[in-house]
């Protein structure tokens, strides 16, 4: 068992290990749990016998942990679900944030996580699911990704002091919630179908983790690129006047 020491929760973590969950999956669930329970409370955390430097907010602690903890091998589905939990935590943090700079940083992190996640799914996981998963479900997943990319591009180009910024982040979170449900739904979800079809989730997990790491490094160095669509064909929208101006002109 990997020693994972968090104040007052050693028992829970031991139980989680005994059912074979990965270090990162547990770390993710643990941090989200703490943040939900204590809101913005700060807490000291030790991982693998090391104390994280100073008190940290839950999601900061998770990022730190991801750098510190040698990655336990996780299968493709565990890795993708872990990404889902992380981004859910970031959306919750955004909703509670009040200061513009905090909102801006969280929005940037949400866009980065989602960009990398959609890329590794589209490049590696979804192609492997072809013939293993219902075609309609897979096609809808590509379209849902592209829908999210439109909002990601809007958010990246915007700032928290703009009128619709918060609404764009909120709608993105709702779209992602629906999409994650379609992927994780028991029995007929995309992941369940992939597992049932006997996909080599261990080998795919390694590929996803490597690609994710490479993309994170690249984006850290050269910034986040404009999202690339897979199903949307780039139809140009006509931009109307803002609602108030349109009403005034009537
Ligand atoms: Fe996903
Ligand atoms: Fe997806």
| Same domain membership, residue 191 and residue 107 | yes
> Contact at 8 Å (CB) between 30 and 6?
yes
The dihedral through the CA atoms of 166, 171, 174, 179 has a sign that is negative
Span from the CA of 35 to the centroid of ligand 1 (angstroms)? 22
pLDDT at 249: 73
Whether residues 10 and 134 fall in one domain: no
Residue 94 and residue 63 share a domain? no
Closest ligand by atom to 138 CA: 2
pLDDT of residue 104: 98
Question: Rounded distance, CA 180 to CA 177, Å?
Answer: 5
Measure the CA–CA gap between 110 and 95, rounded to whole angstroms: 12
Tell me the DSSP string of 100-115: HHHHHHHHHHHHHHHH
Q: Could you tell me if 154 and 194 lie in one domain?
A: yes
Q: Which ligand is nearest to the CA of 80?
A: 1
Instruction: Tell me, yes or no, whether 23 lies in a domain.
Output: yes
Shared domain for 176 and 161, answered yes or no, is yes
Looking at the structure of the chain, the number of domains it has is 2
> Does the model's pTM come out above 0.75?
no
In the reported structure, the alpha carbon of residue 82 is separated from the centroid of ligand 2 by a whole-number distance in angstroms of: 12
pLDDT computed for residue 235 by the predictor: 93
Could you give the CA distance from residue 146 to residue 2 in angstroms, rounded to a whole number? 39
Between the CA of 118 and the centroid of ligand 1 the distance, in Å, is: 7
Structural domain that includes position 113: 74-225
* Distance in Å, CA 120 to ligand 2 centroid: 9
Domain final position from 72, 98, 123? 72
Query: Do residues 81 and 41 share a domain?
Result: no
**Residue 22 to residue 75: CA distance in whole angstroms:** 9
DSSP code of residue 46: E
**Average pLDDT by consecutive 10-residue portion of the chain (250 residues)?**
32 34 47 39 37 46 52 81 97 98 98 98 98 97 98 97 96 98 95 96 97 97 95 92 74
Last residue of a domain, one of 47, 72, 97: 72
Ligand nearest to the CA of 122: 2
End-to-end CA distance of the chain: 70
What spacing in Å lies between the alpha carbon of 194 and ligand 1's midpoint?
13
Q: Identify whether residues 153 and 43 lie together within a single domain.
A: no
| Distance between CA atoms of residues 142 and 36, nearest Å | 31
Cα(207) to centroid of ligand 2, in Å?
16
Distance 7 CA to ligand 2 centre (A): 34
Task: Examine the domain organization and report whether 1 and 52 are in the same domain.
Answer: yes
Mark whether 3 and 109 lie in a shared domain: no
Going from the Cα of 68 to the center of ligand 1, the distance in angstroms, rounded, reads: 24
Residues less than 5 Å from ion ligand 1, measured at CB: 80, 183
Distance of CA 134 to CAs 148, 150, 194, 240, Å?
22, 25, 10, 38
């Amino acid at each position: 068992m990997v020693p994972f020491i968090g104040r007052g929760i050693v028992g829970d973590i031991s139980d989680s290990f005994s059912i074979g969950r990965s270090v990162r999956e547990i770390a993710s669930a643990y941090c989200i749990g703490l943040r939900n329970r204590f809101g913005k409370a700060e807490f000291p955390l030790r991982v693998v016998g090391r104390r994280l430097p100073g008190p940290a907010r839950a999601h900061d602690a998770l990022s730190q942990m991801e750098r510190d903890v040698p990655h336990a091998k996780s299968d493709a589905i565990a890795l993708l679900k872990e990404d889902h939990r992380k981004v859910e935590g970031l959306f919750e943090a955004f909703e509670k944030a009040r200061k513009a700079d905090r909102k801006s940083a969280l929005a940037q992190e949400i866009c980065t996580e989602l960009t990398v996640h959609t890329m590794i799914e589209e490049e590696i996981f979804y192609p492997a699911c072809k013939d293993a998963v219902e075609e309609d479900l897979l096609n809808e997943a590509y379209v849902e990704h592209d829908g999210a990319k439109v909002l990601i591009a809007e958010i990246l180009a915007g700032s928290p002091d703009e009128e619709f910024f918060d609404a764009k982040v909120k709608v993105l979170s709702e779209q992602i919630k629906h999409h994650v449900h379609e992927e994780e739904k028991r029995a007929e979800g995309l992941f369940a179908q992939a597992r049932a079809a006997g996909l080599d989730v261990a080998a795919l997990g390694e590929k996803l983790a490597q690609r994710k790491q490479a993309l994170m490094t690249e984006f850290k160095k050269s910034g986040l690129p404009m999202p690339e669509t897979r199903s949307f064909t780039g139809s140009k929208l006509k931009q109307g006047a803002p609602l108030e101006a349109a009403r005034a002109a009537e």
